[in-house]
Amino acid sequence: MSFLQRLMGKSGRDELRTLWHATVGTSREREWYAECGVEDSVQGRFDMIALVMGLVTLRMEQSETLAPKTALLTELFVEDMDRQLRDTGVGDLMVGKNMGKLVAALGGRMGALRETLGESDAKLAEVLARNTTLTDPDAKPYALAVRARALHNDLQGQKDSLLLDGQIRPRLVR
């Protein structure tokens, strides 16, 4: 970032940091785990970050203004996952390999969401069952599919400026 960019305010990844934090915060909401059957484990939490990140990124791709910024949001994902791996003791030699797997997993899940969001909740539940660590692997995650679709619909109705401000779910006006 140049001196002028720093002087003038947010740019690049910094502009999307609030949205990244909101994405992580949404992925940690209790309901995903308690009501939708996602396992509250490192893998389950990653699965939820990948799901919410995928939904946010797909929404951004539909906007002329936000589409070019999806790579910056992905960079924040990579930065955070890299830090998490290092904090858990993964050595320098293995970080790159693990990051490749995490980014590939994110890309695969986004592709699956892209193909399935236009389908029924039952079809979405099948895809989520394959891509999410659940407390009961034999259960069909209909609640997860319904909640994921609700988030997708919320994102579709959200204004670009509010999304950038980290408002993933529209605020109710009373």
pTM of the predicted model as reported, rounded to 2 decimal places: 0.86
Identify whether 173 is part of a domain. Answer: no
Identify whether 139 is part of a domain. Answer: yes
d(CA 77, CA 75): 5
Identify whether 95 is part of a domain. Answer: no
- Helical H segments across 35-172, by residue range: 42-61, 70-87, 92-116, 121-131, 142-157, 160-164
Identify whether 36 is part of a domain. Answer: yes
Exposure letters 69-99 (e unless 16+ CB within 10 A, then b): bbebbbebbeeebbebbeeeeeeeeeeeeee
pLDDT tens digits for range 26-83: 999 999 999 999 999 988 999 999 999 999 999 999 999 999 999 999 999 888 887 7
Report the number of distinct structural domains present in the chain. 1
* Cα end-to-end distance, the chain, whole Å: 41
Identify whether 122 is part of a domain. Answer: yes
* Mean pLDDT lowest among 39-53, 143-157, 160-174: 160-174
Assess whether pLDDT exceeds 50 at residue 89: yes
Identify whether 174 is part of a domain. Answer: no
Query: Which pLDDT does position 101 carry in this prediction?
Result: 83
Identify whether 66 is part of a domain. Answer: yes
Identify whether 149 is part of a domain. Answer: yes
Averaged confidence pLDDT in the chain: 86
Full residue range of the structural domain in which residue 59 is found: 14-77+105-164
